[in-house]
Chain A
Amino acid sequence: MALTQLKQYLRPTTLKEALTLLQEGGKGARVIGGGIELVLFSPPAVTTLIDLSKLSLSYIKENEAGLAIGATTMLTKIIEHPAVAQYLDGVIVGMLHQVASPLLRNLATIGGSLASANPWSDVIPLFLALDAKVTLFDGKYHSIPLSDLYPTRSHLSGSILTEVLLPVPASGTAASFHQFSRTGFDVALLNCACLVKVDAGRCTVVRIVAGGTPRLGAALPTAEKALMGMELTDETIEQVAHVARESADTRDDLRASAQYRKQLTYVCVKRCLQEIRDRLAGEKQ
């Protein structure tokens, strides 16, 4: 049996009820989205699970602020949604196709993918690069940048993640995601997400995020600075990818060495920026 200490599996029908159950449940209480990791890692202290699936949080809505995705929306539904396919040349769909397998994407939810803060996550680096915001409910709704959710996740204690918002991209913006793993199914040895906004040929907004380093996805500020104000030429891309390699704080683990990950950072950043340049060129035509 997966969760031997589990005593209660609860299905609240309102968010308030879910929050009360979570707060009253104390340390043994957890919310469950897709539940993959709860079953896989079977944390022994979990005695109460609060299932969010009856809270109507499975949705994808386009509004003036951007693309709002409910926390319990499964990854497959996001892949299949036409508005997501249109968002920044389908960068989100392209990334999600590289996450695990269809069988797991039919279980995994976007809220769980963000809240579990796995260092190998492909979703987190891209959503950080896209300046995603998350909504937390602790009796009141709070919207915070996704980057504020990490690395401690202290915001999540005593609250429930209800939605992620991807802002409307400014014109002249493109994004890209690249990762490298041993097989199509395995988690990334390293992944990288970039977003660039170009005004009059110069980069005015730059996000370069590396994940699976093997720690949680985080920005590479030195590489971002190296690209600010520059043109996306072959030389610049080469230089920025080099800065990314040197500045990435990679480490050894059982999957790959720190040195190998540095080289992967270089390759992934380079491929991302080349793709962004091509996407921006396509936009002008």
Chain B
Amino acid sequence: MRITLTVNEVKRNVEIEPGETLLELLRREGYKGVKKGCGSGDCGACAVLLDGRAVNSCLVLAAKASGREVITVEGLADDGGLHPVQQAFLEEGAIQCGYCIPGMVIAAVDLLTHNPNPSEAQIREGISGNLCRCTGYVKQVEAIKTARRMGEGTDD
């Protein structure tokens, strides 16, 4: 079957199998920033924004994304540079192996979009669906706090 969806603000018309997942579609189409980790909704490495909300793309049928807007980690940066969350992760050194980071950044973007001034507890809950096996999450939490400060005074 054919579906049309928007990926990183580009309209795409693609051929899919009815039973394949959004994760499989996105990786096949070259969005390799979307990682396949557990494939069962536990690790969050495959997180993308679907109509602005972070979801595990491994558990979304590609057909379900028809007519909807998908943003992957590749779509966050613009010509002006990195997204504030990406910049904050860089500045805080919140990365070791990096595998979890695209999903973690996507979850943080959803969190800060819907709650621009989260408490530490809310930040920790916001990334509770994203597993990191290198760090103890401390740097990521710090990075999201930094991104929270960067967001202050903006219209977002």
Binding site for B on A (CB under 8 A): 1-9, 11, 32, 35-36, 38-40, 49, 51, 53, 74, 76, 80, 97, 100-104, 106-107, 184-185
Contact = CB atoms under 8 A, between A and B. Distances in A.
A3 B63 CA distance: 12
User: Which 7 residue pairs across A and B have the least CB separation, nearest first?
Assistant: A101-B129, A3-B19, A6-B19, A103-B129, A9-B63, A106-B53, A6-B18
22 contacts: A1-B19, A2-B21, A3-B18, A5-B19, A9-B1, A9-B63, A32-B64, A35-B64, A36-B41, A49-B63, A80-B114, A100-B41, A101-B44, A102-B111, A102-B125, A103-B107, A104-B56, A107-B60, A184-B125, A185-B42, A185-B128, A185-B129
B40 interface: yes
Q: Is the interface of B mostly helix, strand, loop or mixed?
A: mixed
B53 A39 contact: no
A38 B63 CA distance: 13
Most buried by B among A2, A4, A49, A51: A2
Contacts of B111: 102
Nearest to B58: A39
A80 B113 CA distance: 13
A103 B40 contact: no
A11 B65 CA distance: 12
A40 B40 CA distance: 6
Interface string B50-66: 10011110111101101
Contact of B59 (A5, A7, A39): A39
A50 to B, nearest CB: 11
A9 B61 CA distance: 10
Contact of A102 (B1, B64, B128): B128
A253 to B, nearest CB: 19
B47 interface: yes
Interface in B19-51: 19-21, 24, 40-42, 44, 47, 50
